[in-house]
Amino acid sequence: MRADVFRLIAGITLALWLVLPLVPLAIWSFAHGWRFPDILPRDWSLKAWAYAFSPTSGVVGSLGLTLFIAAATTVLAALVGVPAGRALGLHAFRGKAIVTLVLLAPAIVPGIAVALGLHGVFLRLGLTGTVSGVILAHLIPVIPYMTLIMASVFSSFDTTYEDQARSLGARPHQVFIHVTLPAILPGLMIGALFAFLVSWSQYLLTLSIGGGRVQTLPLTLFTFASSGRNDVTGAIAMIYILPGLLVLLLTARHLTGRNAALTPRVAP
């Protein structure tokens, strides 16, 4: 009984701690001024939201742009990550350990270490300040996640179904669409979710490569946070966490249960 009470209290504390930082952001977004020592704002207002959705603020355009960049990054990462994941997951070959390290490093080495040199490379290619440049930059941390998750998916993939389909006369693209894709789809969704989120959260790579021209939501958010407009900051922060929440709910089916591909099977 005491253990139950302890668990419940620990659980509530944990839940509170997870939600807590979002609370002042949500309140600020509806506040017209909120000064010490008021626990709640004295005056409430929708003007921060009105401003966030006005054409002037550019938040809606920024949201669209951020979504586009994250989606494009995800699709490109899937196009190169699925084949590479297949090679790593299904086959043993010489140099595999090195290839894995090469594919892993960009996800772990901090973005700041890459951003400065990448800026120099992209300046010469004329890619700084362009959306394409930012997408390419986002691919650096995103491809590793996609590839390694797909490698995990393919490691438990049974190729005999493909062989059967092929022996029944299916063409390669038919095999892929009707056999391979349905089998790897749940894992691909997880990979896509992480790819999307990694791109969605990027600040430094977008700032350095986009040079301000590519105004994604985190940049807009930072501009207001660093100018003391806590109300507008709160509204943009709420808008910023919404798509991630939606994507999570959409993929929740694949995330729960046995945590399918999310499970990092690092132990035997």
Partner 1 sequence: MLRSLAAFLLLSTAAVADTADGEALKGLTWDQVVEQARGGTVNWFMWGGADNINQYVSDHIGGILKRDHGITLNRIGVADAVEVVNIVLSEKEAGVTDAGTVDLIWINGENFRSMKQADLAFCGYTDLLPNNLLVNWDNPAISNDFGVPVDGCEVPWNTVQFAFAHDSAVLPEPPRSMADLLDWIKANPGQFTYPAPPDFTGSVFVRHVFYHAAGGADALLGPFDQARFDDAAAKTWAILNEIEPFLWREGQTYPNTIVQMNELFANGEVAFTFNYDPAQFGLAVQAGIYPESTRSFGLTDGTIGNTNYTLIPFNSPNKAAAMVVQNLLLSGEAQLEKAKPEVWGASPAIEISRTAADVQAGFAAIEGHASVVSAEELAKAALPELQADWLTAIEAGWKANVGN
Partner 2 sequence: MTLTKRTRIILLLAPALVLLGGLFFSALGLGLLRSLRYMPSIGLSEPDLAAYIAVLSSPGFLASLGLSLWIAGASTLISVMIALGAALLLRQTFPGRQFIAFLFQLNLTIPHIVGAIGILYLFSQSGAFARLAFAGGLIGRPGDFPALVHDPFAIGIILQYVWKEVPFIGLILLANMQAIGEDHESTARSLGATRWQAFVHVLLPMLMPGLVAASALVFAFAFGAYEIPLILGASAPEALPVLAYRSYTDVDLAARPEAMAMAMIIALLGGAMVLVYARFTRPAGRGRNAR
Pick out residues in 19-78 that bind partner 2 (CB under 8 A).
19-25, 28, 35-39
How many angstroms separate the CA atoms of 47 and 63, rounded? 19
Phi, psi of 65 (to 5 degrees): -65, -45
Pick out residues in 17-56 that bind partner 1 (CB under 8 A).
31-36, 43, 45, 51, 54-56
**Site size toward partner 1, by CB under 8 A:** 43
How many angstroms separate the CA atoms of 143 and 264, rounded? 17
Q: Which two tokens stand for residue 139?
A: 């691919």
**Residue 120 sits in the site that holds partner 1 (CB under 8 A):** yes
Smallest gap from Cβ 43 to partner 1, in A, equals 6
Look at the chain and count its residues: 268
How many angstroms separate the CA atoms of 142 and 196, rounded? 8
Q: Sign of the C-alpha dihedral, residues 97, 102, 105, 106?
A: negative
How many angstroms separate the CA atoms of 199 and 207, rounded? 13
Binding mask 143-182 for partner 1 (x = CB under 8 A): ----------------------------------------
Distances (CA, A) of 193 to 223, 246, 255: 27, 11, 10
Among 69, 70, 78, 127, binds partner 1 (CB under 8 A): 127
Binding segment toward partner 2, per CB under 8 A, in 50-58, 103-111, 158-166, 172-180:
103-111
Among 67, 130, 203, 229, binds partner 2 (CB under 8 A): 203
**Site size toward partner 2, by CB under 8 A:** 107
Among 17, 55, 158, 169, binds partner 2 (CB under 8 A): 17
**Residue 214 sits in the site that holds partner 2 (CB under 8 A):** no
CA angle 44, 64, 66 (to 5 degrees): 95
How many angstroms separate the CA atoms of 186 and 88, rounded? 18
**Residue 227 sits in the site that holds partner 1 (CB under 8 A):** yes
Closer Cβ to partner 2, 55 or 244, answer by number: 244
By CB neighbour count within 10 A (0-12 exposed, 13-18 middle, 19+ buried), where does 205 fall? buried
CB 106 within 8 A of CB 140: yes
Among 82, 88, 103, 136, binds partner 1 (CB under 8 A): 136
Smallest gap from Cβ 219 to partner 1, in A, equals 8
Smallest gap from Cβ 23 to partner 2, in A, equals 7
Residues that bind partner 1 (CB under 8 A): 31-36, 43, 45, 51, 54-58, 119-120, 123-132, 135-136, 211-213, 215, 220, 222-224, 226-232
